Structure 1
Amino acid sequence: MSAHPSQLASLIDRFAKTDGIHETAVPRLSLIRCSRPTLPLHAVYEPAVCIIAQGSKQAILGDAVYVYDQNKYLVISVGVPVVGQITEASDAEPYLCVKFDLDIATLGMLLLDTRPGPDSGEPAPALGLSKVTPELTDAAVRLLRLLETPPDIPILAPLFERELLFRLLQGDQAAKLREIALGDTRLQQVGRAIDYIKRNYREPFRVEDLAGLARMSASALHSHFKAVTAMSPLQYQKQMRLQEARRLMLQGLCDAAAASHSVGYSSPSQFSREYRRLFGLPPQRDIARLKEVPGGFVSA
């Protein structure tokens, strides 16, 4: 008999008692709980699969809105700035979600043991939605039940992870998962550019140099980068800078002027203009708003 989403919800509720993102003893597995809807929150989503057991959420990438709940799961192929918002949650029925980070090595080894599918040659958007199947829910439940028997985790977690990935490879996001793990795909080329910007977001860069790193022409990089992330490399860098500045201010590590300098801005006024354009409010008012809203920091 297949597991029901209520079984998944019960396990998350048991091991994630408070609102927030909870890492677990199972490698790459996190549990997320939130008891109220949240503000739209900018965050960088890393490669992962998110399976909701209760509640709903939306993620915005460029002009595309991805709405998912217990009937649809989300796959993220590369690290990309996203606006996420939990839209259905309450004390009685909190938002409950499983987040499993995708390990490229494990995924690649599994693909060697399965029949490869067709490669479109063109990178797809970094986010994708598919219907949750009973088989995928079963695999997720088995993985979570390992939290009941910690000594079993080192032996059984790798097996259940392969089962979960196998079920994902049988779904509509199979091509996206193959792009992540196999060969020198367009997605991996774009991924090299993304990784460089993430590591060096404080420093200016030449698009031609970035294209050389990705092993494609500047025009091809611009086209494929936008297809995956819904933004240009320079826009991606700007969002990385502004999100890091916001994090520093939220944590009380520095004020707006210091944060702007820390992330690479030479002009505080330019920083304030671009910050307001992205987040809707100037830095000081935005931070004050976020600190007043319970649950506003839950982003995964």
Structure 2
Amino acid sequence: MPGGASVKSIRPRAPARRARSCKVFAYFSRPRSRPVQIRGSGAKLQTTRSSTVRAAVIPTAIPPREAPYMSDETPEIAAALAQPMPLEPELDEARKELVALINRITGGRDGTVETPVAGLQVYCISKPDRPKHAFATPALGLIAQGSKRIIMGDDIYVYDPMHYLVTSVDLPVCGQVRLTSDNEPYLGLRLELALDEIGELIGDEKLPAKANAPASRGMYVNRIAMPVLEPVLRLLRLVENPEDVPIMAPLIKREIMYRLLVNGEGARLRQIALQDSHTQRIAKAISALRINYAQSLRVEDMARAVHMSVSSFHHHFKAVTAMSPLQYQKQLRLQEARRQMLVTGIDVASAAHSVGYESPSQFAREYGRMFGAPPLRDKQRWLSEAGNDAMGAASMEAA
């Protein structure tokens, strides 16, 4: 644990687990002179000192459905998210420029804009957004205005303009953006991270990393700092000067990746790019699982393929993804089935069979638990809300 911090384990009372989690989150989300990050899984909570202020990771016993998310939110949590702490003057000026740049690029219109810079997208959302399931891929997520909550396995991540989010492996998540307290639009950006380039950078710069270090979460939130924000601004400015993109964009991206590697929780990102580390082995297993998700899962075969024992594989897989291999495969199958129904228009039985379900009734039960409604009703709801734009309904900004 960073800084040799102590760990406190709290066992919440079983009948009030959900409320207790919310109260603990609201308490630790207050402005503090010594910020705290909350992490946990199952019935235990762990509080750790870190550089994170309002970002938090909290445990949840709530299944990752879409419909009930907001009903579980307490007024304390809503108030904490709606009233962000002030940034230092230099960071606040940079944030204002980020807001202006994104507004100009999007034209103030809702949606996602693919910029001339490869792998860089910007977002504008001006209306309250429902929770959406997606697969988060390796990327840097940064918010200029508003906030966001992401659920991954047993963890909930909350971040805002004071923080950035890094995803280092493919992860099934459910996320929801929040407008500001003044109902100003959510504005954010996502920059894809090339893990092979990060590996080259680690070798070139001789950055320290331990191959035998324990695997850690494939997603983390860290406090924003000018060394990270300043090159992001320069990269975004290139959008208005496209003639500079071919030469300058690769250089600035490399600088951003370097800053992520040396700033705060950068050791986690170094692990994913380090040859033969536990985290990289799990990443390889995840890549294979994403390709073969419709096949029967044998954990023994997955562990053998990455040269790990079954027990070690289980332990490190959950450390990275916050879920077991079977849970990961289930979420992957259900998300893919949903995507097929929305995008290609296939029927429920065909979607279930295409992702590996032999029992349509089992598929319907698990689908309803995950998405909050049976497959057909969920499909009709999404198509109605998206104005029959199925691709728009199926898409989500994961970071």
Common fold by TM > 0.5: yes
Aligned position for 2:130: 39
Deviations 1:135-168 (A, max 9, x none): 2221111001111111211110111111211221
Deviations 1:212-267 (A, max 9, x none): 11110111111111111111111111111100111112225212112111211111
How far is the alpha carbon of 1:288 from its aligned partner? 2.6
Matched-pair contact (CA < 8 Å) for 2:289–2:329 = yes
Matched-pair contact (CA < 8 Å) for 2:209–2:274 = no
How far is the alpha carbon of 1:112 from its aligned partner? 2.4
How far is the alpha carbon of 1:98 from its aligned partner? 1.3
1:49 aligns with 2:132: no
- Structure 2 CA distance, aligned partners of 1:138 and 1:176? 22
1:16 aligns with 2:121: no
Question: Which amino acid is 1:176 matched to?
Answer: R
Aligned length: 300
- Structure 1 CA distance, aligned partners of 2:178 and 2:306? 37
Matched-pair contact (CA < 8 Å) for 1:48–1:75 = yes
Pairing 1:70-89 to 2, within 5 Å after superposition:
70-88=161-179
How far is the alpha carbon of 1:105 from its aligned partner? 2.3
Stretches of structure 1 that go unaligned for 5 or more consecutive residues are none
SS at match of 1:211: helix
- Structure 2 CA distance, aligned partners of 1:5 and 1:276? 40
1:174 aligns with 2:272: no
How far is the alpha carbon of 1:106 from its aligned partner? 1.9
Question: Which amino acid is 1:5 matched to?
Answer: R
Matched-pair contact (CA < 8 Å) for 2:133–2:396 = no
How far is the alpha carbon of 1:128 from its aligned partner? 0.3
The Cα RMSD (Å) is 2.0
How far is the alpha carbon of 1:88 from its aligned partner? 2.0
- Structure 2 CA distance, aligned partners of 1:182 and 1:32? 32
Deviations 1:48-71 (A, max 9, x none): 110111111011112211101100
Pairing 1:221-300 to 2, within 5 Å after superposition:
221-293=313-385, 297-300=395-398
How far is the alpha carbon of 1:91 from its aligned partner? 10
- Structure 1 CA distance, aligned partners of 2:335 and 2:181? 27
- Structure 1 CA distance, aligned partners of 2:314 and 2:227? 38
How far is the alpha carbon of 1:24 from its aligned partner? 1.7
- Structure 1 CA distance, aligned partners of 2:196 and 2:322? 27
SS at match of 1:184: coil
TM-score (structure 1 length as normaliser): 0.93
Selected match of 1:29 from 120, 133, 136 = 120
Aligned position for 2:77: none
Stretches of structure 2 that go unaligned for 5 or more consecutive residues are 1-89, 387-391
How far is the alpha carbon of 1:289 from its aligned partner? 2.7
- Tell which has more relative contact order, 1 or 2 (C-alpha 8 A, sep 6+): 1
Matched-pair contact (CA < 8 Å) for 1:192–1:213 = no
How far is the alpha carbon of 1:170 from its aligned partner? 2.6
Question: Which amino acid is 1:145 matched to?
Answer: R
Share of identical aligned residues, percent? Answer: 46
- Structure 2 CA distance, aligned partners of 1:179 and 1:25? 30
Single out whichever of 20-29 and 288-297 deviates more from structure 2: 288-297
Matched-pair contact (CA < 8 Å) for 1:20–1:298 = no
Selected match of 2:150 from 40, 44, 59 = 59
- Structure 1 CA distance, aligned partners of 2:305 and 2:179? 42
Matched-pair contact (CA < 8 Å) for 1:25–1:150 = yes
- Structure 2 CA distance, aligned partners of 1:226 and 1:79? 13
Matched-pair contact (CA < 8 Å) for 1:36–1:89 = no
Selected match of 1:123 from 201, 215, 234 = 215
How far is the alpha carbon of 1:171 from its aligned partner? 1.5
- Structure 2 CA distance, aligned partners of 1:49 and 1:223? 26
1:164 aligns with 2:256: yes
TM-score (structure 2 length as normaliser): 0.71
Aligned position for 1:215: 307
- Structure 1 CA distance, aligned partners of 2:318 and 2:284? 14
- Structure 2 CA distance, aligned partners of 1:66 and 1:48? 15
